[in-house]
Amino acid sequence: QTVVTQEPSFSVSPGGTVTLTCGLSSGSVSKDHYPSWYQQTPGQAPRTLIYSANTRSSGVPDRFSGSILGNKAALTITGAQAEDESDYYCVLYMSGGIWVFGGGTKLTVL
């Protein structure tokens, strides 16, 4: 069974930089997994931030960036703002018509 791993929680100071990661329980994440990232606040539908590892979705501020770092996908927020306090999810396309979400990271900005 494929497990996608994310940090359960992270904290960043306003104006600071934070990198959230998305890994695999076995193996490495690559561009072939088409990693994508989503932001979700309580009671709201997810918002698409990044797709295909590093492409920002329309309207997403450029302080959000995606990359592959070593064997993981990464979401970096540069100059974090109070409104970035949310849950962040990554999802990997595993081929064969299957997607797997990570457990999510709760980001606190304080």
Partner 1 sequence: EVQLVESGGGLVQPGGSLRLSCAASGFSVSSYYMSWVRQAPGKGLEWVSVIYNSGRAFYADSVKGRFTISRDNSNNTLYLQMNSLRAEDTAVYYCARVGYSYGFNSWGQGTLVTVSS
Q: Does the footprint of partner 1 cover residue 48 (CB under 8 A)?
A: yes
Q: Does the footprint of partner 1 cover residue 59 (CB under 8 A)?
A: no
Strands 105-109 and 9-12, sheet pairing: parallel
Among 5, 51, 65, 78, binds partner 1 (CB under 8 A): 51
Distance CA 64, CA 15 (A): 13
Among 36, 73, 84, 109, binds partner 1 (CB under 8 A): 36
Q: Does the footprint of partner 1 cover residue 5 (CB under 8 A)?
A: no
Q: Does the footprint of partner 1 cover residue 47 (CB under 8 A)?
A: yes
What does the angle CA 110 – CA 18 – CA 52 come to, to the nearest 5 degrees?
A: 135
